[in-house]
């Protein structure tokens, strides 16, 4: 293929991806409701109350896509509690809540026909947007939105409605959000992570020093294999079954569909490994020679990531 053809092909897929980006997390053309009031009425029909919120937080009963898998974020918090305790015991690390990567679109409740007020696909890269990474339990997002996310699974996508009490209250967040505004979100959970690498880069140096070098290297090795697996998925054939007709179809991901999530996630994992290695320190000079540790770190990075 000549260079001109390659450039035209690349531009073609770029435009497909760009178009699909702006279709993500938005209301579909056939979504019920000729105006904001009717659209909100339909949302209230397809959502249910999140327990403990007195109806102030509502979420769709099922994921609006077919990609949700595994246990909910809330169940993951419970299931991982023991492993967090083990980590504390083994390496004297402070247990922290999981990190959840999300994309979302947010509308003001009385303006559901216009473009979102806040939209993560409107940020960063033209094709992928810029996802938001939140830490459960530390107040990094609205309390109502966190309660809804706890009921979601990795890969799922839900509409969420927040009453003013669970949003920005009577004062709002001017100029973008007026007071007493009901908020409507469509949220997509990209991934949930408890792994040590996500905490390591946020630790103060006094805690990093307690992590053995072998733990750092084994963590980066795992990240390398995970990245490879995600990258290879961008060219794997996918089987899809229509839930209504039972018809089976096959398609490839990646360039053939404009879905670059696998390659994007692979890049994130490799960046994470690089960040861990940059911050890695030996436990102490008696256990490892500092110069040898730095040499191993650089050699490992050159061998596996360059």
Strands 57-60, 69-72: pairing is unpaired
* pLDDT computed for residue 254 by the predictor: 46
* pLDDT computed for residue 283 by the predictor: 41
* pLDDT computed for residue 286 by the predictor: 40
Chain segment 290-303, per-residue pLDDT in tens? 445 555 555 555 55
Residue 16 pLDDT level (bands cut at 50, 70, 90)? very low
Q: For residue 176, is pLDDT > 60?
A: yes
Among 157-166, 206-215, 222-231, 288-297, the minimum mean pLDDT is found in 288-297
CATH topology of domain 3-194: Chitinase A; domain 3 (3.10.50)
Determine the average pLDDT of the residues in 70-90. Answer: 67
Distance CA 65, CA 261 (A): 15
Domain ranges of the chain: 3-194, 198-305
State the burial class of residue 28 (Cβ atoms within 10 Å of its Cβ: 0-12, 13-18, 19+). Answer: exposed
* pLDDT computed for residue 111 by the predictor: 92
The residue assigned the tokens 């050159």 is: 302
Q: For residue 158, is pLDDT > 90?
A: yes
Q: In which element (H, E) is residue 267 found?
A: helix 261-279
More confident residue, 5 or 102: 102
* pLDDT computed for residue 238 by the predictor: 55
Q: For residue 21, is pLDDT > 90?
A: no
Q: Do 38 and 32 touch, CB atoms closer than 8 A?
A: yes
Percent of the chain with pLDDT over 70: 63
* pLDDT computed for residue 112 by the predictor: 95
Q: For residue 86, is pLDDT > 90?
A: no
pTM (global) more than 0.85: no
Residue 112 phi, psi dihedral angles, 5° rounding: -90, 0
- The CB density around residue 205, as the number of other CB atoms within 10 Å, is 8
Q: For residue 178, is pLDDT > 90?
A: yes
Percent of the chain with pLDDT over 90: 29
Q: In which element (H, E) is residue 248 found?
A: strand 248-252
Q: What is the chain's Cα-based Rg?
A: 22
Q: For residue 18, is pLDDT > 50?
A: no
Residue 72 phi, psi dihedral angles, 5° rounding: -70, 160
More confident residue, 57 or 248: 57
* pLDDT computed for residue 193 by the predictor: 73
Among 104-113, 184-193, 276-285, the minimum mean pLDDT is found in 276-285
More confident residue, 276 or 40: 40
Q: Do 72 and 152 touch, CB atoms closer than 8 A?
A: yes
Determine the average pLDDT of the residues in 135-145. Answer: 87
Q: Three-state SS for 69? A: strand
């Amino acid at each position: 293929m000549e260079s001109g053809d390659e450039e035209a092909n690349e531009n073609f897929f770029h435009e497909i991806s760009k178009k699909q980006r702006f279709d993500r997390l938005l209301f579909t053309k056939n979504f019920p409701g000729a105006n904001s009031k009717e659209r909100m009425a339909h949302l209230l029909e397809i959502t249910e109350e999140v327990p403990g919120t007195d109806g102030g937080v509502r979420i769709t009963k099922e994921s609006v896509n077919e990609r949700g898998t595994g246990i909910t974020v809330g169940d993951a918090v419970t299931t991982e509690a023991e492993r967090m305790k083990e980590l504390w015991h083994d390496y004297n690390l402070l247990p922290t809540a999981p990190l959840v990567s999300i994309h979302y679109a947010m509308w003001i409740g009385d303006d559901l026909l216009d473009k979102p007020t806040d939209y993560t696909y409107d940020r960063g890269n033209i094709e992928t947007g810029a996802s938001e990474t939140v830490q459960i339990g530390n107040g990094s997002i609205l309390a109502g939105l966190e309660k809804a996310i706890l009921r979601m699974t990795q890969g799922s996508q839900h509409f969420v409605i927040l009453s003013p009490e669970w949003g920005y209250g009577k004062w709002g967040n001017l100029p973008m959000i007026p007071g007493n505004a009901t908020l409507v979100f469509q949220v997509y959970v990209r991934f949930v992570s408890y792994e040590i690498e996500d905490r390591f880069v946020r630790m103060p140096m006094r805690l990093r020093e307690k992590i053995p070098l072998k733990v750092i290297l084994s963590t980066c090795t795992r990240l390398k294999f995970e990245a490879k697996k995600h990258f290879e998925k961008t060219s794997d054939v996918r089987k899809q079954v229509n839930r209504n007709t039972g018809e089976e179809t096959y398609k490839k991901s990646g360039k053939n569909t404009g879905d670059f999530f696998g390659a994007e996630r692979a890049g994130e994992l490799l960046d994470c490994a690089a960040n861990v290695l940059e911050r890695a320190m030996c436990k102490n000079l008696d256990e490892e020679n500092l110069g040898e540790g730095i040499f191993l770190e650089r050699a490992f990075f050159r061998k596996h990531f360059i």
